[in-house]
Amino acid sequence: MADSVVLLRSRPVITVDVSIYLPVSINISVPQCHEGPQHLNCFNATVCLLFRGKHLPEHIELLYNLTADVDKRQRSQSSRVYFIQNGAQISSVSNELSLDINREDCQQYTAYVKKDVKDVFTAITFEVAYTLGKHVVDGHLDKDLPALTPVLRWRKGDKMAAKNETWFEKNCLSDDCAADLRLHGKLLLSGLHMRSHLAIGGVRNVSLNVTISNAGDDAYDTNIYFKFSREVFYINYWQKEEKGISCGLVDLDFLQCSVGFPFMRAQTKYHLAVIFDTSQLSGENETLQFLVHAKSANPEHRLLDNTLDLSIPLVHEVDTTITGLVTPTSFVYGNSIDASHFVQLEDMECNFQPLNFTFQVINNGPSRLPGSIVDIRIPNRLAGNGADMFHIMDTQVAEGQGNCTSHRNTQPCSIPQDRESIFHTMFAFFTKSGRRVLDCDRPGRACLTISCTLGSQSKEEAVSIDVKLLLNTEILKRDSSSLIQFVTRGNVRVDGRAIEVLQGLPEDTSLVFEALHSQEPRGYVVGWIIAISLLVGILIFLLLAVLLWKMGFFRRRYQEIIEAEKNRKDSDESWDWVEKNH
């Protein structure tokens, strides 16, 4: 062991000085570069390297990697700046340099700022990480021992790297560059619609007139966000002056408008109108609501005036009307009318007159009618305590668009008891004249009511209601009128979710049909009339004879009258002869 020799050798240590030169700040408001037709913000980043040390070779190879916005990349966030290499956008570039000892070598790179930068308040950090490349040895320090490979001097940190940073230029009066955004706005209907509600289907579009102002420091990346129903559609926007506002849909129900990018300057104001199509509103919601919110990348202390809630009630505005038709419009009844002209029900003695009513409910818009109720009222009794005249056979709403309900007549064949004497019967016949009107609008009138509930109707759509009735003519025969006029009323009421337009079409109608008596008495009444007429004639003759006898008509002396008349004529002839002789 005494003959052993230990030789300790030290490897040369290379000290690398790295410098990264960046602008003090970046003014993104003024583009400095051009890439085709586009104007871009850019700046120069310069990397300078120098190595030094003792017992080192004259030159070395050094590999380095320049990374832009390294802090963002370490947090897996998108870099705010990029380099262009072979037409591609990259966030880091690599290079290999052959350096001479104590001689600085610099490389310049152009860094571009992305257009959609969101963060302008944190620093942009550039990092140069380097490693020693292939070592070139010019010769041996000793002919028996090979030269040792140099090593890099270790710096503080977890890797061989150097950093420098720059900032986006800001115009701030406060320490935290706080903005103060304020929103004002109103919702306007298209055309001349100056109402407090929106008629579904009657208003084609609405406009949100929004004013945004900034009372704080310059607000970077200011945006106005519009949240709205998927039943309305964004059409376009309009700005009062060309101030750099641009809008685009993020989703079908979410609109983003950029205001004055990159900065909305302090003490400035922008006016914006956003137009939406409302023609597809269904009316499921009672209110059309737009939530408007303004936000920037700056901190902000007052947020209450950053939000607007613009809404307007939705109303189904309709103009409904009802029309009707009755068949037949008149008929004749009476004992002399053959039973074949009427309808007989099984096991019933009554003769029924069939009647068909057809009503049409029409929605003239402008909105869709969500539903309606139709009331049909028919005079059902001749007297307040009398029997019901009508029997409902069928009610039907076209195409199943509704249903009808009514009171069911349990005794459709009701024949009034004939308790009158023959003299009353004859008196009724002779006094049967004039017209009687049965109208449900008159007080105290008992009516049959049919209520029909209809479904929704689109604009200009008509729904038909058919009602088939039987009228008991036996009850009519007991009336003293020669003509009975029935006035049937129909009325439509819209659903509570809808309103009628002012001064629109009438919501009610009236149908009139007439029952005419045949004016022919019964057979035994005719016989009695003839007999009584003869008796009355004889009595009148006898009465006249008695009167003449009482007046002495039958007691005159006709012979004396004739002789007196003859003497008068003879006297007249004698007088005429005397006058001629004289």
Q: List phi, psi (to 5°) of 299.
A: -65, 155
**What mean pLDDT is predicted for residues 369-384?**
91
Q: Band the pLDDT of 136: cuts 50, 70, 90.
A: low
pTM over 0.95: no
From the list 109, 116, 121, 112, the residue with the least C-alpha distance to 81 is 112
Residue 467: which of 411, 402, 392, 410 has the closest Cα? 392
Q: Write the pLDDT tens digit of every residue in 329-341.
A: 999 988 778 888 8
User: What's residue 213's pLDDT?
Assistant: 95
pLDDT in tens, 255-313: 999 998 788 889 999 999 999 999 999 888 889 999 999 999 889 998 999 999 999 99
- Say what angle helices 422-431 and 523-550 make with each other, to 10 degrees: 90
pLDDT tens digits, one per residue of 23-39: 999 888 777 786 655 77
How far apart CA 119 and CA 205 sit, in angstroms, is: 37
pLDDT at 358 over 80: yes
| The pLDDT value given to residue 331 | 92
Helices (H), 64-128: 70-74
User: What's the rounded Cα separation, in Å, for the pair 184 and 310?
Assistant: 10
pLDDT over threshold 70, residue 462: yes
**Degrees, nearest 5: CA angle 574-576-579:** 110
pLDDT at 8: 77
> Dihedral of CA 496/497/502/508: which sign?
negative
State pLDDT tens for residues 413-429: 887 765 555 555 555 55
Structure token pair of residue 224: 């106005």
CA 224: distance to chain centroid?
25
Q: Give the per-residue pLDDT at 54.
A: 78
Q: What is the pLDDT of residue 211?
A: 95
pLDDT tier, 441 (very low <50, low <70, confident <90, very high otherwise): confident
pLDDT at 560: 64
**Confidence at 150, pLDDT banded by 50, 70, 90:** confident
Instruction: Give CA–CA dist 185/290, Å, rounded.
Output: 11
Q: How far is 315 from 200, CA to CA, in rounded Å? A: 6
Reply yes or no on whether the pLDDT at 208 is more than 90: yes
Q: Residue 232: its pLDDT value, please?
A: 95
Q: Name residue 211's beta-bridge partners.
A: 184, 271
Rounded Cα distance between 474 and 487, Å, is: 20
Among 121, 122, 117, 127, which residue's Cα sits nearest to residue 40? 117
Structure tokens at 60: 């070395």
* 376, 447 contact by CB (below 8 A): no
